[in-house]
Amino acid sequence: MPKRVDHEERRGQIAEALVRVAGRRGLHAVGMRDVAAEAGVSLRLVQYYFGTKEKLLLYGLQHLTDRFTERVGARLRAVGRDPGPRATAEALLLTSLPTDEESRTFHLLYTSYAVLSVTDEALAAQPFIANPDAAEDALAGLLRQAQESGLADPGVDARTEAIGLLAMAAAMGTSILVGQRGPESATEVLRHHLDRIFTPPDDGPPAP
């Protein structure tokens, strides 16, 4: 038998090539030959490891969301262990903004996939739609926990605010992507709403 290469690793390399070229020229413009050239392999190889283009695209979506999940985790770890709910929520929201090349590519492709899923049933059946639901639950839980700890305004509805925050982050991310808005503006708006929700504890030590 020949080299006995690791299939999963190879598929990952090709999927990353797909993400790169799709991030550059748009998901609609990427062909099997482009992916092969970007990955430095022959067209035949891409066929060999994925069979059909549809499977390649689905795998690419999976690869994309996996990498993004890791990215969010890294960002959360970067804010230090046991951060407050406010810092966690902020990291969660700001990570999804397209500020550097990687997040820009992620945002572009994720939106492309989402748009495609409206008219493509194979994509619509993909569970990547459920991902925002998980984020919504996490953020709502964070807010509720903050409310119980007295760190957040107990008068607001946690789930409603979570939905609103995630929606704002998503749409303003797209605005950044198309060049309509700068990342600073989006960050400012998000921070403003976080400030509104997270009431600072007013039982601090009085000034001397």
Partner DNA sequence: TTCTTCGTGATACGACCGTACCATCATGTT
Partner DNA sequence: AACATGATGGTACGGTCGTATCACGAAGAA
How many residues in total does the chain contain? Answer: 208
Choosing from 37, 41, 156, 189, the residue that interacts with DNA (CB under 7 A) is: 41
Q: From the list its own copies, DNA, none, pick the one residue 45 interacts with, judged by a Cβ distance below 5 to 8 Å according to partner type.
A: DNA
E strand or H helix that includes residue 182: none
Q: Which of 49, 67, 63, 52 is nearest to 6 (CA)?
A: 49
Q: By CB under 7 A, which span of 36-44, 142-150, 164-172, 178-186 interacts with DNA?
A: 36-44
Non-local (6+) Cβ contacts of 10 within 8 A are 45, 49
Q: By CB under 7 A, which span of 27-35, 113-121, 134-142, 171-179 interacts with DNA?
A: 27-35
E strand or H helix that includes residue 153: none
Q: By CB under 8 A, which span of 5-13, 41-49, 63-71, 115-123 interacts with its own copies?
A: 115-123
Residues 148-207 binding its own copies (CB under 8 A) are 157, 160, 163-164, 166-172, 174-175, 177-180, 185, 188-189, 192-193
**CA dihedral angle for residue 173, residue 176, residue 181, residue 182, rounded to 10 degrees:** 100
Count other C-beta atoms under 10 Å from residue 142's C-beta: 19
Contacts with DNA, residue ranges (CB under 7 A): 1-5, 7, 10, 30-34, 41-45, 47-48, 51-54
